[in-house]
Chain A
Amino acid sequence: NAGVTQTPKFRILKIGQSMTLQCAQDMNHNYMYWYRQDPGMGLKLIYYSVGAGITDKGEVPNGYNVSRSTTEDFPLRLELAAPSQTSVYFCASSRLASSYEQYFGPGTRLTVT
Chain B
Amino acid sequence: QKEVEQNSGPLSVPEGAIASLNCTYSDRGSQSFFWYRQYSGKSPELIMSIYSNGDKEDGRFTAQLNKASQYVSLLIRDSQPSDSATYLCAALMEYGNKLVFGAGTILRVKS
Contacts and interface: CB of A to CB of B under 8 A. Distances in A.
Nearest to B104: A42
Contacts of B97: 97
Contacts of A58: 98
Interface residues of A, number: 19
Nearest to B101: A42
Nearest to B89: A42
A104 B103 contact: no
B61 to A, nearest CB: 15
Contacts of B26: none
B101 A43 contact: yes
Interface stretch (B12-20, B44-52, B65-73, B75-83): B44-52
A45 B43 contact: no
Contacts of A100: 32, 34, 90, 92, 99
A101 B34 contact: yes
A64 interface: no
Contacts of B107: none
28 contacts: A40-B8, A40-B103, A41-B103, A42-B4, A42-B101, A42-B103, A42-B104, A43-B44, A43-B88, A43-B101, A44-B101, A45-B99, A45-B100, A48-B98, A58-B98, A90-B44, A97-B97, A100-B92, A101-B34, A101-B49, A103-B46, A104-B43, A104-B44, A105-B43, A106-B42, A106-B43, A107-B42, A107-B43
Interface of B: 4, 8, 32, 34, 42-46, 49, 88, 90, 92, 97-104
